[in-house]
Amino acid sequence: MPPIQVRNVSKYYGSVKALHNVDLDINDGEYVVMLGPSGCGKTTLLKSIAGIIDLSSGSISISGQEVTGLPPEDRGIGFVFQNYALFTHMTALENASYGLMARGETRERAKRIGRDMLRLVHLAERERAMPKELSGGMQQRLAIARAMATGSKLLLLDEPMNALDAHIRTELRVELRRMVKQLGLTAIHVTHDQEEAMALADKIIIMRKGKVLQVGTPKEVYANPSSPFVASFLGEANFVRVTFDNGLATLLGQNVKTKLEGPYIACIRPENLRLDHKGAKIKVTNLRPFGPFFKYDVDYNGLQLSVRTTHDHGDISHLTYDPAEVLYFKEPEEGLEKSLEAV
Ligand code: ADP
Ligand code: MG
Measured distance CA(272)–CA(269) in Å, rounded: 5
- Closest atom of ligand 1 relative to the 40 alpha carbon: 3
Is residue 42 lining ligand 1, measured as CB closer than 6 Å? yes
The DSSP string of 189-236 is EEES-HHHHHHH-SEEEEEETTEEEEEE-HHHHHHS-SSHHHHHHTS-
Q: Which of 323 and 163 is assigned the larger pLDDT?
A: 323
Whose CA is closest to atom 10 on ligand 1?
41
Of the options 2.60.40.10, 3.40.50.300, 3.30.1330.30, 3.40.390.10, the CATH number for the domain spanning 4-229 = 3.40.50.300
Taking 80 as the threshold, does the pLDDT of residue 80 lie above it?
Answer: no
Note the pLDDT tens digit of each residue in 95-142: 999 888 888 889 999 999 999 999 988 899 999 999 999 998 899 889
Domain boundary assignment for the chain: 4-229, 236-339
Q: How far is the CA of 208 from the centre of ligand 2 (A)?
A: 12
Give the count of beta carbons closer than 10 Å to the beta carbon of residue 125: 10
Measured distance CA(36)–CA(55) in Å, rounded: 20
Whose CA is closest to atom 14 on ligand 1?
39
Where residue 78 falls among pLDDT bands split at 50, 70, 90? Answer: confident
* pLDDT for position 162: 81
Helix axes 166-182, 136-149, angle to 10 degrees: 20
Where residue 82 falls among pLDDT bands split at 50, 70, 90? Answer: low
Where residue 286 falls among pLDDT bands split at 50, 70, 90? Answer: very high
* pLDDT for position 140: 87
* pLDDT for position 109: 93
pTM above 0.85, yes or no: yes
